[in-house]
Structure 1
Amino acid sequence: MAGISSARLSEERKNWRKDHPYGFYARPTTNTDGSLNLFVWSCGIPGKKDTIWENGVYPLTMEFTEDYPSKPPKCRFPKDFFHPNVYPSGTVCLSILNEESDWKPSITIKTVLLGIQDLLDNPNPKSPAQQLPIHLFLQDKDEYVKKVRQQAKSYPLAE
């Protein structure tokens, strides 16, 4: 199975380098020996323009298993990332990343990253992962906006 997942990840890397959405990055990490680790990717998701998330590029780690693409990658923002659908551990709660829900082997790294970008500004209140962000999102929009904009300053756009 590792051969299938490695081949698929190599192909996705090649496709990403040829064509990826503006402002995003996604690249395999490097092992201590200098070789590429296709199973752990370092990614960045820009906040959409004209949203409270703009002006930030949010770091995300994608971890793949040897069962990929049969099973989805684990996607994590930094610990304590402020968002209603991100667990305190940083793990993203999104239906396309759930193998019992909407995951399909045809979903690509690009699709996942675009889906997470969309989730940033469109949280799913039916699937909360953290108490404070969902509470503020539903009960105190001004404070929610303030906290998101504050967080964006921690992840500025590269100039």
Structure 2
Amino acid sequence: MAAGVAVGRLTEERKAWRKNHPYGFVAKPQSVADGSVNMMVWQCIIPGKAGTDWEGGYYPLTLTFSEDYPSKPPICKFPQGFFHPNVYSSGMVCLSILSESSGWRPAITVKQILVGIQDLLDTPNPASPAQNEAYGFFVKDLAEYKRRVRQQGKRYPPKD
């Protein structure tokens, strides 16, 4: 029964997203080989914010929902090795609103998650480092950190 609640909520979120979503963002359930969709896994794209070192990049993110959604947050992952102080080497995003024990609330929507992650890209939280390399550059060599961010953005150009 729990999966029914999760799928129902995600179906509603998909409808709301189609009607109104931030420019440049993509969020859609994963297509399955048989032509159906898997509502529990969404493929997303987060555009880098204009005027930041992230601008020009369109960063792929996968949201994986459990049968306990919306009681529990989705797992949000960038590609493995994504360069950011608050992204683990596995690609998993470390953000308070995604933490079941601290900031998660069932009212948080997919749109709020994606906008929150976009904000995190340019404003890392040094109090919650998840990746030593990116964190080290962020706190000790900001010029090199920014160079690597811009370089990473080139690996994720807009899709036509």
Q: Could you tell me the TM-score, scaled by structure 2's length?
A: 0.98
Distance (whole Å) between structure 2 residues aligned to residue 12 and residue 82 of structure 1:
29
Distance (whole Å) between structure 2 residues aligned to residue 53 and residue 154 of structure 1:
11
Runs of 4+ in structure 1 deviating by more than 4 angstroms, as ranges, are none
In the alignment, does 2:116 pair up with 1:115? yes
**Helix, strand or coil at the partner of 1:118:** helix
1:19 offset after TM fit, Å? 0.3
1:156 offset after TM fit, Å? 1.1
1:157 offset after TM fit, Å? 2.3
Alignment of 1:93-112 (within 5 A): 93-112=94-113
Greater shift after overlay, 126-135 or 25-34? 25-34
Match of 1:52 in 2: 53
Distance (whole Å) between structure 2 residues aligned to residue 106 and residue 125 of structure 1:
27
Q: Could you tell me the TM-score, scaled by structure 1's length?
A: 0.98
**Helix, strand or coil at the partner of 1:111:** helix
**Helix, strand or coil at the partner of 1:133:** helix
Distance (whole Å) between structure 2 residues aligned to residue 70 and residue 109 of structure 1:
14
Alignment of 1:7-156 (within 5 A): 7-156=8-157
Distance (whole Å) between structure 2 residues aligned to residue 133 and residue 114 of structure 1:
21
Distance (whole Å) between structure 2 residues aligned to residue 39 and residue 157 of structure 1:
25
Distance (whole Å) between structure 1 residues aligned to residue 34 and residue 63 of structure 2:
20
**Helix, strand or coil at the partner of 1:37:** strand
Distance (whole Å) between structure 2 residues aligned to residue 158 and residue 65 of structure 1:
29
- Residue identity matched to 1:82: F
Gaps of at least 5 residues in structure 2 are: none
Gaps of at least 5 residues in structure 1 are: none
Aligned residues: 159
**Helix, strand or coil at the partner of 1:58:** strand
Distance (whole Å) between structure 1 residues aligned to residue 34 and residue 53 of structure 2:
40
Distance (whole Å) between structure 2 residues aligned to residue 105 and residue 8 of structure 1:
10
1:106 offset after TM fit, Å? 0.1
State the Cα RMSD in Å. Answer: 0.7
